[in-house]
Amino acid sequence: MSKKTGKLTKVEKFYIDNNPNSNILDLAKDLNRTEKCISNYVEKDTGHTAPTRDNEDESSVSDLMGRKEDRGVTIMTQAASELADETRPQRIEETSRYKNSIHIIKEKDE
């Protein structure tokens, strides 16, 4: 799970400054920070915009989940939640598998 937004340490700033070709998602994963925190630092302090995700279609919600596989735990991170909210209309249109599967077992008596 990523840290909350806040001041970046000198070490984190040094890492970001010395990896200018890395995209924000990779930097956020490496530093265990949110994408917004990293992008704010890059835009404000360095004066240029860093590349965001290379291809948003490749990034799925499951890739952004926090996992501890040795204990069998999966937690939804803030980034995964935001991506799920953004892609919800597309996912609803795509999944029509159970759309006509509603069955009423007992009709209401009037």
Provide the mean pLDDT of the chain. 76
**The token pair that represents 79 in the structure block:** 């980034």
Q: Is 24 within the bounds of a domain?
A: yes
pLDDT of the residue at 54 = 46
Q: Which residues of the chain have pLDDT under 50?
A: 50-58
Is residue 106 assigned to a domain?
A: no
Parent domain of 36: 1-54
For residues 44 and 74, membership in a common domain is answered with: no
The pLDDT, as a whole number, for residue 9 is 87
Check whether residue 33 and residue 61 sit in a common domain.
Answer: no
Q: How many domains is the chain partitioned into structurally?
A: 2
What pLDDT is attached to residue 65?
Answer: 85
Q: Is residue 105 part of a domain?
A: no
Q: What tokens were used for 64? A: 């952004």
Nearest to 4 by CA among 32, 24, 41, 27: 32
Query: What is the predicted pLDDT for the residue at 55?
Result: 45
Whether the model pTM is above 0.85: no
The confidence score (pLDDT) of residue 59 equals 62
Q: Do 46 and 11 share a domain, yes or no?
A: yes
- Tell me: do 46 and 20 sit in the same domain: yes
